[in-house]
Amino acid sequence: MRHRVDGRKFGRNTSHRRAMFRNLAANLVTHERIVTTEAKAKELRRVAARLITKAKRIGAVAYTPQDKLDDAAKAKRLHVSRQLSAFLPRFGVDADGNKKDLVEKVLVELAQRFADRPGGYTRIIKLGPRKGDGAFMSIIEFVDAPPVDAADQDDDAAPAAAEDAAVPAEAAGAEKAAGAEETADEDAGADEEAADEEAADKPADEEAGEDSDKKDSDKEDSE
């Protein structure tokens, strides 16, 4: 029985589970928004809260420059920095390829941003089941994470939309030109057929005229 055993195990042993949450926490601190399964997001929320709370407990010492701290404050900050480094990977790479010190980001940036917030540093947005295995997916992000820039998405989508619009336009122009050529060919064929019919009718008329002249001449001779 699992009495007094808290937390999800995810079918992993302790070291494997710890490594998984170290990587998830590093990605969350680096990008401030990640997509993962709902169960992992709920467990990661607890991990992120502990990390930020450790940095907040020392107050303004966390984000005060080193040259303005006394020896006691420097020792306190160093101790918290080592506690964070024991779990959180030291460096991460953001979407632009820039290397970031994750421990310093928690101490300097996140501790200052959430200084007046008594917990609840992250939010979870459910996305629904994943294709394939049906696992429920979620977005976990900091509550004050910068919003996704819709203008950049529109700029990226605009060339694709323009290309998509250009293809039907080109196809329509080609179809129109082909239709014009077909119409011209049909008109030319109709003119040729009319000319052939006229040419075919003309000899018949001439033969009919010659026959009538011959009959008239024969009639005159007989008289």
CATH number at residue 46: 3.90.1030.10
pLDDT at 171 over 60: no
In which band, very low, low, confident or very high, does the pLDDT at 188 lie, cut at 50, 70 and 90? low
Domains contained in the chain, number: 2
| pLDDT tens column, 47-69 | 999 999 999 999 999 999 999 99
Q: Tell whether 166 and 115 lie within a shared domain.
A: no
- Count of beta carbons in the 10 Å neighbourhood of residue 111: 24
Q: Are residues 35 and 140 in the same domain?
A: yes
39 and 130 part of one domain:
yes
- Do 127 and 28 lie in one domain? The reply is yes
The structure tokens 């953001």 sit at 94
CA 19 to CA 27: how far, in whole Å? 12
Beta bridge partners of 142: 122
- The values of phi and psi at residue 28, to 5°, are -65, -45
Q: Is the pLDDT of residue 21 over 60?
A: yes
Shared-domain flag, residues 116 and 199: no
| 139 and 31 within one domain | yes
Q: Which of 148, 173, 206 is the last residue of a domain?
A: 148
Q: Is residue 5 assigned to a domain?
A: no
Same domain, 70 and 105: yes
Residue 59 in tokens? 């107050």
Is residue 120 located within the same domain as residue 26? yes
pLDDT (0 to 100) of residue 145 = 84
* Among candidate residues 93, 124, 148, the one where a domain is terminated: 148
**Domain range for 168:** 150-223
Q: In this model, does residue 158 exceed pLDDT 80? A: no
Q: Are residues 18 and 118 in the same domain?
A: yes
Residue 131 in any domain: the answer is yes
Q: Which of 148, 166, 200 is the last residue of a domain?
A: 148
pLDDT (tens digit per residue) in 22-42: 999 999 999 999 999 999 999
- Residue 206: pLDDT band (50, 70, 90) is low
